[in-house]
Structure 1
């Protein structure tokens, strides 16, 4: 088995991308679109940051048609906020990705958003060629985090490593950590730039906790030396 961690799977919002709370704004807009009170839902939204958005709406509304309508409203609201220029790279994120790739690692960006929203974020940041592959839940059979499907889809599609142990996963939420652990990744790194704190990340399986994704290249180098 290789001692190198040559496949790196990174979350977007909160990990590599700063969106300034746009997820909550878009959820609130979606709830109001269906005549619901956003205040009654925000605790669940915060607790499930990182999960596929359609899954969150299925839980909140308990009805497939309402969930799909809410998801469409969410994606439209979030896309509008992105178009206003309200997303930006987290400090050091693009540089860390470039460094990882210069080291010969394959880098994949994943999200709980729909493809149209993911593409809008990438376009707004000028990140069209930044990574080797981008994935959302629909690319992994419809199941997003906390399932490991997106990580395993990255493993299968890229062919970058021979074993799941040679994967590193990084994210800012408990669901990112669960997804990484369930995939069998050797490194499951939590970052403190997003939704959840150190304790929550560690309680859900983080092998390491970093101040930001900018620290990831150095961490992988240390892990491989060890």
Structure 2
């Protein structure tokens, strides 16, 4: 009988977050939010602006439309804010203010060369995700890309995108053969709730080691570049991060 704490081998489905995990966006989320907030009449420099910006920081990784629903109260205002945010982020991406996390592309290529299926996920809308992929030349880097709309509309911390990757790719037979990697508490919660065998946090994004562990990280890595080496020796019970 298999112990419930034992990872099911092989770990052949890798679900990677984008901004903060594989993509270094240089604070573009905050800059795009500031433009969106101003569009809705939030005065820059005001206490309301500072409080809303802090909430955006605290909820990095969550679906952006969900964040705006919490911040602006009504569905109409949330959608207006989200549209303004996506437009601003796309303009900033087009301006060249985005780059891969060092070693991220090589890590994905190594994972796929080892026979693993790689899925890139985001809390952004599809149009923004595609803009990032185009800016980096990453259209064909992964086996599949997913945004919340591709998983029924619910982003992190729900497990829906991880489970959509599991169902769409058919890469593994058991959710314990899934590896989820991200830089935020919401990424960790999504991975834990999906039943993934490894939920790895990386220290290249929004949240620190303590937040990642507190929200379920089984491992904490300096960056996604360390992931292939971790998985090369991962056929054992998950270790404490």
Quote the residue 1:177 is aligned against.
188
Structure 2 counterpart of 1:165: 176
Aligned to 1:66: 77
RMSD: 1.0
- CA deviation map 1:44-80 (0-9, x unaligned): 1111000000000000011000000000000000000
Count of residues paired in the alignment: 226
1:109: Cα distance to partner?
A: 0.2
Distance in 1 (CA, whole Å) between partners of 2:211 and 2:122 is: 20
1:22 aligned residue:
28
TM, length-normalised to structure 1: 0.98
Consecutive unaligned residues in structure 2, runs of 5 or more:
3-7, 44-48
When Rg is computed on C-alpha atoms for both structures, the one with the higher figure is: 2
Corresponding position of 1:39: 50
Q: Secondary structure at the match of 1:223?
A: coil
Structure 1 Cα separation of the partners of residues 236 and 83 of structure 2: 46
Name the counterpart of 1:154. 165
Give how far 1:40 is off.
2.5
Give the corresponding residue for 2:5: none
Mark the runs of 5 or more structure 1 residues left unpaired by the alignment: none
The residue correspondences of 1:103-114 to structure 2 (distance < 5 A) are 103-114=114-125
TM-score normalized by structure 2? 0.92
Distance in 1 (CA, whole Å) between partners of 2:148 and 2:29 is: 17
Secondary structure of the equivalent of 2:210?
Answer: helix
Q: CA deviation at 1:35?
A: 0.1
| Secondary structure in structure 1 of the residue aligned to 2:196 | coil
Alignment correspondent of 1:10: 16
1:174 deviation in Å? 0.2
SS in 1 for 2:179: strand
- Could you tell me how far 1:225 is from its partner in structure 2? 5.8
After TM superposition, the runs of 4+ consecutive aligned structure 1 residues lying more than 4 A away are: none
How far apart, in 1, do the equivalents of 2:125 and 2:50 lie? Answer: 24
The CA deviation at 1:204 is 0.3
